[in-house]
Structure 1
Amino acid sequence: MWNTCGEPLLYLKQFKLVCRQIGVPESPQLYKDGDIMLGGIFSFHSKIPVVLNFRGFQFAQAMLFAIEEINNSTDLLPGISLGYKIYDACGSIARSVRVALSLANGNEVASDTSQAPCIRLSQVQAIMGETSSSPCMAIATVIGPFHIPMISHFATCACLSDKTKYPSFLRTVPSDYYQSRALAQLVKHFGWTWVGAIRTNDDYGNNGMATFIETAQQLGICLEYSVSFFRTDPPDKIQKIIDTIKTSTSKVIVAFLSFMDMDVVLHELSHNNLTGYQWVGSEGWIFDSQTAAMDKHHILDGAIGLSIPKAYVSGVREFMLDVKPLNSSGNKMFTEFWEALFSCKFRQSQPSSGHQKGCTGHEDLTGVQNSFTDMSLMPIFNNVYKGVYAVAHTLHSILNCNKTCNNTVQLEPYKILQLLKKIQFKTKEGDEVYFNEDGDPAAKYEIINWQPTEKGIVDFVTVGLHDATLHAGKQLNLQNRSLIWAQNSQQVPLSVCSEKCPPGTRKVLQKGKPVCCYDCLRCAEGEISNITDSITCVRCHPEFWSNERRDACVKKKAEFLSYKEIMGALLTAASLFGTCITNVVALIFFIYRKTPIVRANNSELSFLLLFSLTLCFLCSLTFIGRPTEWSCMLRHTAFGITFVLCISCVLGKTIMVLMAFRATLPSSNVMKWFGPAQQRLSVLFFTFIQVIICVLWLTISPPFPFKNFKEFKDTIILECALGSAVGFWAVLGYIGLLAMFCFILAFLARKLPDNFNEAKFITFSMLIFCAVWITFIPAYISSPGKFSVAVEIFAILASSFGLLFCIFIPKCYIILLKPEKNTKKNMMGKGAPK
């Protein structure tokens, strides 16, 4: 139990307080007695100017219709009559609170104020209203401690879902939390990332826009501006908003406004002839026929937004248009309403002006066209209707109604509120009514589009649905219908701060601007972006490279020294040519093996040298073609071993020349220390050392196929990695050491007295060999890719040809063209022909 001051009865008993009324009592504008009373708070008048508001009257009529239908029902609350006390809030929050307290405590003056304690029950069991969020917040705050249920039909502010602040507030309209998120999803669906926003400067607009902005940021939508105003603001503030719209670059405006504020904005937009903007609206104005009727300049044509789903309540239209029963019930509102409805004056009221006709009270409502006869707000009427029925079903349950109701049950507001929160039923139209834990219904919206007709009026066309109860990806469902956009366009307008970055580019934010404003930079070489509006460029896999458009990675061209290309073919031909020449020389030597010139140069070493030269020419072929694991190991080891074998033979021939000269000296038997057996062992020994080096190299860290990505940006160089660089340079170093030693010995023996001193030719061959390999090192290091392989092959072929030509060609010349010199005497320098 509660007192008139809102204090609990326990407190009153403790201090023995009494009720005293302060101020003039409030009288309801619409009243009917009943067994159980329901309260209603609607705005029948606007504050400035004071004019009758037909919408508020319609809402009240919807409440009366539901009450009359319940009273005439035998299934719901049988034997119980519902009465009502409906107050006019006049659009004032202060007055809303005052009349709410009147509904909670009554206006009766106690006969004996000194003895009348505040133990009276609540005057009404539930309150229907108010229409706007801010008055509802104030009322719910005041009556919350009384636990009197308050059911609003159109207060959508998400803040009212906070049950710690508003424990007794419920509503039959969805919370703006869902509407704001749905609006953001709708904006995102059409690709509008750069929008402006206007909101009503009250709890409805501010809270709704705050949720919209939060969701929009999550979806990548930026607001160029967000401005607020209230319809009572001075003209200069509203003009600033118009100027903001004029200077903006966004073409989409999200308007979270009540219909009254939208009317003010529309008037200013018409005055400034601001057209061509795509409007996205909240349910506060988007399906308001009066706002559409005011849009004479078609500024809002093509607007799209969310509305409460269409509904139909059978009988409510006929009930609303039959207003005469209100007169018979003695309600004070009837006279004023009738005069406003028909623009006439009753004689008992103020004297009519010369331009106004007198009222008879029997005027025909059939031909009247105004906001009262407009039934476009039927979804809101349905919300009022469902709210009254929710209370009735709750009372029906508490009173244990079957065929009759138990009138002895004590009705307590707290009990009614708790059961009302859990109530669930279906209306006669099949709508399911229930409240969630926040006192809200299921959030479902229709997406409507303003489409002008040939008659110049606006048709609210349903183009989709939004159901917040579904999975996130399935909530927004647009039907396959043609939409009309701003300026009667068939194309979806474009509203972005920056054009989309195509594939092959990435977004770079513009300094000091929102994330929707950016520049598009082309991806660097080797990087791609294959989606629109990519924020980064992805580097291609090392085996791939970006194409010219930078939107795809293409496989790099694999490059290696191939037999099919000119350079590879020429080197192959040179190798085979050298092999053939070597074999021809070997054949000549074999045919003339018994001639002095062949025998004088140790034919065994000569044939071994020719064999090693053949291998040298052939080993160059292992460097041509795609590198494999075996070819990489073979090419360097075969090259190293065959060249050591070759140099060993040349070294043996050089030593033999020196030994032969020493053998001609008196009392010298040096030749017995370097006979054929020693010559073979020396070649075998020198070659064996190289074999050991190669085996160690292959065992520890052998060469292997390697893909070189660094040499060229768009080409893969297939080459053989050395594995152990020490092994490679050890092989080359050993060859070079033998070559230098051989060169020194040959140089020392170049002037020995002999008609055919082979040391001279060995000196020349070693000079060429050393020159080739000395120049090879820098050329090899500086040559890129396959050219380094070509340089190595060239060095092998050049040094091989050098040895072949310098050592064997002079002999072949004598054998074939100068046979007269191919004698023992001539070899010994005796009997040379003149």
Structure 2
Amino acid sequence: MLRASRGLWQVAGRLNLRYFRHLLAFYFAVLEINQNIDILPNITLGFHIADTCTNVEFSLCSTLMILTGVMDAVPGFSCQQQGQVAGFIGSFSSVISHAIARFTGIYKYPQISYGAMDQLFNDRVEFPFFYRTVPNDQSQYQGLIQLLNLFRWNWVGILTSEDDSDQRGSEELKKEIIRSGSCVAFLEKLPMAFLLTIEQFGRLSQIAVMVNKSIAKAVIIYSANSYMAIQFCFPWWQMIAEKVWIISAATSSLANLFTPVIISSCRALNGSLAFAIQKGNIPGFKEFLYNLHPSTFPDPSFLQPLWMEAFHCEIVYGTKHSNLTNCTEQEILSNLPPWRFDVNNFQFTYSLYTAVYALAHALHNMYTAKSQLGWDQNLEFQPWQLNQYIKKVHYKPPDGHEIFFDDKGNVPAYYDVINWVMPPGRHFSSISVGKFNSSASSGQQFFVNQSAIMWNPSFNDTPRSVCSESCVPGHRKVLQRQKPVCCFDCIPCSEGEFSNTTDAENCMKCPDDQWPNVRKDGCIPRAIVFLSYEEPLGAVLASIAIFFSIITDIVLGIFIKYQHTPMVKANNRDLSYILLLALMLSFLCSLVFIGRPGRVTCLLRQVAFGIIFTTAVSSVLAKTITVVIAFNATKPSSKLRKWAGTRISISLILLCCLVQVVICIAWLLISPPFLDYDTQSETGMMILQCNEGSTIAFYSVIGYMGFLAVLSFIVAFLVRKLPDSFNEAQFISFSMLVFCSVWVSFIPAYLSTKGKYMVAVEIFAILASSAGLLGCIFIPKCHIILIKPELNTRGHLIVKQ
């Protein structure tokens, strides 16, 4: 014998057709099973229906009466006259199902609910005998989150009732939304009493004002309370504009309660989206309902409220209401039942139908197993024995999905996404615009046809519900203090960074050879920069180098042409030739610093510069020492006569250059210069340059040249006043002063510049110091040779001495 509880029949003083439909669907399912020879043959299912009155105490009393079989129930005793209690179907409410499950669980009776979606029933330790043919709330949370993600609604509100189950579910929904990366702007609990107190009325008005002011455009109505949907027909909700109401599955079923009068005052819900338990067709149920009459129904008193509502008359089976007339026989026989909508369009009716069939299949399998073991199939069984067969139920009802229970007593979750539409002057309608199937593979669980959705007329386009507008690429999010993560400011990426996604939390750096574009939403190749001949600075420096090298060639030519004159012979003309060649090469070596650097040029240019300049400076030092030797060698009995000549000068140059060559070879062997890229000095550019490798080696080369220059300056300064008309000491002193000044100022200038300007500074130092030597030592000589040849005579030299 099946036992079932029925729901409250009347809501707000009016007939609740939904619960009558549940009752009749249960009755129809039992009739079908009893007429089906393939299920429980030779066994007739009975049932007992009790009204829960949406009250826990009534439900527990009714359950106890079913178990004991008497009105004055005594716990622990059974006075059943016939049959045996197999299990319980219901209730629709999670709160009542919870109370019944805890009570019947003591006796280990299975219970299959057709409406309780609360996920607390997933606890198999506390509810090992509880099953349901509706999805649990956890699957609905995932569907709601996917809906929010689809429309990018990350700032939503939640309205629920004061029901314990609703509050528990709404809090869990809030956690899931936050866990998914979205935010909840508010979670408010609405009083659900039909007759509101002044305090409750004020509270509802405050909530309505808050919801209206909130920037959250999407608001989830989460409740299974019978009054929840009707709440939004009250005047204060009609003043709220530009809100998308997202209605949970249990609440969306209450849309069938709406009468034309109620619908006309519920325009706030126009354009809403609702999750609905997927409906299935029950073959023959429509015909059963439309052929239903009190004259043919086993217990006409069940149909009494229907006819009272439809025809304002009653079927007299007891005390007559004074304000109602008797229904005539013609009214009873000829009038169709007062169904207002398509019976296949109701939710939870199908889940109730499948719940009865699931229990019947479990009973059939149990009796089949017993008969195969040779036991009497009418043998009574313990309630817990049926539990193992319910776990293994697996069948496919007509026009529906497969029914089976997982390890938590749940069936696969299927939802329809419904668009509630209320066109002006027309009846309320619901349009299926999508589906959610939790058992489908990832990426195929959720589908919504966005083009089919008819939004509330207050929206011109798809609504947006965000705390802050998305940060476009090129920007990053900065959270606002003391606000949820969905509230943020958008700031541009820092210099050298980019973001190519919407709502980027961090900007990224481009690869070393790339740089962010103007919008900072991508990277572009850096402009490669080096001191080239094409740019003005490179062209000017190259022109100066070539100009001075030509001047040096001219001077060398003059000295060769006038090599036999006293001016050229004085102070060792071979040293003059070596110095002029070194200066010419130093001017030309600056050209190696200009143009695109390469591996070979990086290895050679500093080494070539160091050796050539060392040759030039050592030549100047040799000239200075030659002046000293030449003056002192003319004295009687001087021991310096044997050192006079070119041999000592050449040897000195070779010795000085050898030291520099050793330094350069060590540099090339230990840490040679190499081609490098500088991406830090100039914005958006990549400077192609030669990295000196060893800084110590580089400054050792410069320092050694400086040492020779200082030594030359000191010696030249000491002999600057020797009585020789062709004495070079004064010119060498001044040239070394210029040389040292240039290279002393070079070091801070070189260290304070970057990239190609470092190269330009070094080139300038090479040109300036070389030009100083050329100008100070050779220009005065050329002036005498070319302009005042009368001074370029031995006689003039003797007179001076």
Q: Deviations over 1:172-229 (max 9, x none)?
A: 1111121122112212211111111111332442233233212211222211111123
CA distance in 2, matches of 1:174, 1:498: 34
Which secondary structure does the structure 1 equivalent of 2:478 belong to? strand
Q: CA deviation at 1:456?
A: 1.4
Matches within 5 A, 1:101-500: 101-107=64-70, 123-232=84-193, 234=197, 235-236=200-201, 237-258=203-224, 260-269=226-235, 273-287=239-253, 288-291=255-258, 293=260, 294-297=262-265, 298-324=267-293, 329-346=298-315, 356-363=324-331, 370=338, 375=343, 377-400=345-368, 407-429=377-399, 431-453=401-423, 456-479=426-449, 481-487=451-457, 489=459, 491-500=461-470
CA distance in 2, matches of 1:723, 1:485: 69
Structure 1 unmatched runs, 5+: 1-36
> Paired residue for 1:40?
4
Q: Deviations over 1:744-785 (max 9, x none)?
A: 333333333333333333333223323322333333333443
Matches within 5 A, 1:89-104: 89-104=52-67
Choose from 772, 780, 794 the match for 2:764. Answer: 794
**Which residue identity is paired with 2:561?**
I
> Paired residue for 1:75?
38
CA distance in 1, matches of 2:653, 2:439: 93
Which secondary structure does the structure 2 equivalent of 1:461 belong to? strand
- Kindly tell me the number of residue pairs found equivalent between the two proteins: 789
CA distance in 2, matches of 1:456, 1:521: 49
Does the CA contact (< 8 Å) of 1:352 and 1:358 recur in 2? no
CA distance in 1, matches of 2:299, 2:227: 35
CA distance in 2, matches of 1:283, 1:117: 38
> Paired residue for 1:57?
20
Change (3 A) 1:85 1:331: farther
CA distance in 2, matches of 1:636, 1:225: 71
Q: Deviations over 1:541-572 (max 9, x none)?
A: 45444444332334443333222211111111
> Paired residue for 2:546?
576
CA distance in 1, matches of 2:63, 2:150: 43
**Which residue identity is paired with 1:497?**
C
Q: Deviations over 1:5-63 (max 9, x none)?
A: xxxxxxxxxxxxxxxxxxxxxxxxxxxxxxxx2212102434x7666533222111111
Does the CA contact (< 8 Å) of 1:89 and 1:95 recur in 2? yes
Q: CA deviation at 1:503?
A: 1.7
Choose from 602, 610, 614 the match for 2:580. Answer: 610
Does the CA contact (< 8 Å) of 1:153 and 1:172 recur in 2? yes
Does the CA contact (< 8 Å) of 1:105 and 1:123 recur in 2? no
Q: CA deviation at 1:814?
A: 3.4
Q: CA deviation at 1:604?
A: 1.8
CA distance in 2, matches of 1:559, 1:694: 28
Does the CA contact (< 8 Å) of 1:106 and 1:123 recur in 2? no
Does the CA contact (< 8 Å) of 1:769 and 1:799 recur in 2? yes
Which secondary structure does the structure 2 equivalent of 1:781 belong to? helix
Q: CA deviation at 1:443?
A: 0.5
Task: Say which is worse superposed, 520-529 or 215-224, in terms of deviation.
Answer: 520-529
CA distance in 2, matches of 1:429, 1:778: 89
Q: CA deviation at 1:289?
A: 2.5
CA distance in 1, matches of 2:247, 2:78: 52
Q: CA deviation at 1:540?
A: 3.7
Which secondary structure does the structure 2 equivalent of 1:466 belong to? strand
Which secondary structure does the structure 1 equivalent of 2:534 belong to? coil
Q: Deviations over 1:661-696 (max 9, x none)?
A: 223323335222232222221221122222222223
Task: Say which is worse superposed, 513-522 or 743-752, in terms of deviation.
Answer: 743-752
Q: Deviations over 1:43-93 (max 9, x none)?
A: 2434x7666533222111111111212222222222222222212222222
Which secondary structure does the structure 2 equivalent of 1:399 belong to? helix
Q: CA deviation at 1:373?
A: 5.9
Matches within 5 A, 1:741-780: 741-780=711-750
> Paired residue for 1:730?
700
CA distance in 2, matches of 1:231, 1:741: 104
**Which residue identity is paired with 1:785?**
G
Does the CA contact (< 8 Å) of 2:249 and 2:275 recur in 1? yes
Does the CA contact (< 8 Å) of 1:158 and 1:207 recur in 2? no
Which secondary structure does the structure 1 equivalent of 2:120 belong to? helix
Which secondary structure does the structure 1 equivalent of 2:169 belong to? helix
Does the CA contact (< 8 Å) of 1:596 and 1:822 recur in 2? yes
Q: CA deviation at 1:515?
A: 1.6
Structure 2 unmatched runs, 5+: none
Q: CA deviation at 1:296?
A: 1.2
Q: CA deviation at 1:292?
A: 7.2
Change (3 A) 1:365 1:775: farther
Change (3 A) 1:315 1:362: farther
Does the CA contact (< 8 Å) of 1:622 and 1:631 recur in 2? yes
Does the CA contact (< 8 Å) of 1:104 and 1:123 recur in 2? no
Q: Deviations over 1:695-751 (max 9, x none)?
A: 233333333334334433444444333333332333222222222222233333333
CA distance in 2, matches of 1:388, 1:767: 112
**Which residue identity is paired with 2:725?**
N
CA distance in 2, matches of 1:117, 1:773: 115
**Which residue identity is paired with 1:132?**
S
CA distance in 1, matches of 2:692, 2:213: 69
Does the CA contact (< 8 Å) of 2:93 and 2:116 recur in 1? yes
Change (3 A) 1:283 1:673: same
Change (3 A) 1:623 1:387: same
**Which residue identity is paired with 1:387?**
A
Does the CA contact (< 8 Å) of 1:506 and 1:520 recur in 2? yes
Task: Say which is worse superposed, 396-405 or 613-622, in terms of deviation.
Answer: 396-405
Q: CA deviation at 1:397?
A: 2.4
Does the CA contact (< 8 Å) of 2:65 and 2:71 recur in 1? no
Q: CA deviation at 1:446?
A: 0.9
Change (3 A) 1:423 1:730: closer
Does the CA contact (< 8 Å) of 1:195 and 1:495 recur in 2? yes
CA distance in 2, matches of 1:742, 1:117: 127
> Paired residue for 2:499?
529
Change (3 A) 1:580 1:179: same
Percentage identity across paired residues of the two chains: 38
CA distance in 2, matches of 1:717, 1:285: 67
Matches within 5 A, 1:492-531: 492-531=462-501
**Which residue identity is paired with 2:263?**
D
CA RMSD of aligned residues (A): 3.1
Taking structure 1 as the reference length, the TM-score comes to: 0.88
CA distance in 2, matches of 1:49, 1:716: 78
Which secondary structure does the structure 1 equivalent of 2:49 belong to? strand
